[in-house]
Amino acid sequence: MRKSLIYKLSLLAVVGFGILTGCGSQNASGEDVKDVAASVNEVRAKDTIKFGTCPGPYGDMIQYAIKPGLEEKGYKVDIIEFSDYVQPNLALGKGEVDANMFQHSVYLENFKTEHNLELSNLINIPTAGLGIYSDKYTDISNIPEGASLTVPNDVTNLRRALKEAQNAGLLTIDETTDVTSFSEKNVKDNPLNLVITPVEAAQLPRTLQSSDLAAIPGNYALSAGIDLDSAIYKEVLAEEMKNVIAVQTKDLDSQFVKDIVEVVESEDFKDVIESSDYAFSSFQKPDWYTEKWK
């Protein structure tokens, strides 16, 4: 990438000199100059890669597992943290960040359709699963009638949480309901008469003080200092529920995007993920990762 930049800058210098001496037409056409200038500007614009993320482990994953590899390639990496699940995609759609890493592909697909954004899943990453936590109960089979359950209030993670409550044997949901319109009203059978309350995902750890149960996505559990292994029920992630790096669709063939993928697929990335120095080793790994690293 840097050699290409030097070549383009050299060509611009030659063209500029030719124009000043009245010989520009012998070196390159006006269109050539515009094309080279635009290409150089594009390269310069991606000397810095801005990553959007949310509170929790994925900012750390960018910091320790991705940023060093991109810096070795000559990029400066800025990590921008957002406080909710909405702003990172809006910022990516506006070009305020170049990539984001905080969401699974089901949420991404639903969000980009709802907001008419041209965003694409680049690659799946190791992911902390959702868990059902409680400060009052240690066994999911001992939950009493009338217990309170807090769940994420965004539609895809609300369904995800209630699907895990179903897998845990607490209730039954109507799985025929489209994910975009799913709500707690789509619980078909609630034998324990659980009181289900949707809450902004970032606030779910705080609800453990007042509710009997809380279904908390892994990133928010970790950011609140909750040990993932303390969950009384753990989600087993389907591939589409593992988190992704997202970029603007128009950037899929850009060099900086190819460099991000190369870093994520590198042995250095794997070594950080597997290190006992971080929380990532207990994360559920994407299929490509387990196939590559066995």
| Burial of residue 56, with CB atoms counted within 10 A of its CB: 0-12 exposed, 13-18 middle, 19 or more buried | buried
Task: Please give the pLDDT value at position 180.
Answer: 82
Half-sphere exposure of 265 (CA within 13 A, CB side): 12
Tens digits of residue pLDDT in 44-53: 458 999 999 9
Tens digits of residue pLDDT in 52-71: 999 889 999 999 999 999 99
Tens digits of residue pLDDT in 112-152: 999 999 999 999 999 999 999 999 999 999 999 999 999 99
Tens digits of residue pLDDT in 265-291: 999 999 999 999 998 998 999 999 999
Tokens of 122: 């680049």
pLDDT, mean of residues 223-233: 93
What is the DSSP secondary structure assignment for residue 280, as one 8-state letter?
Answer: G
> Given a cut of 70, is residue 17 above it in pLDDT?
no
pTM score: 0.74
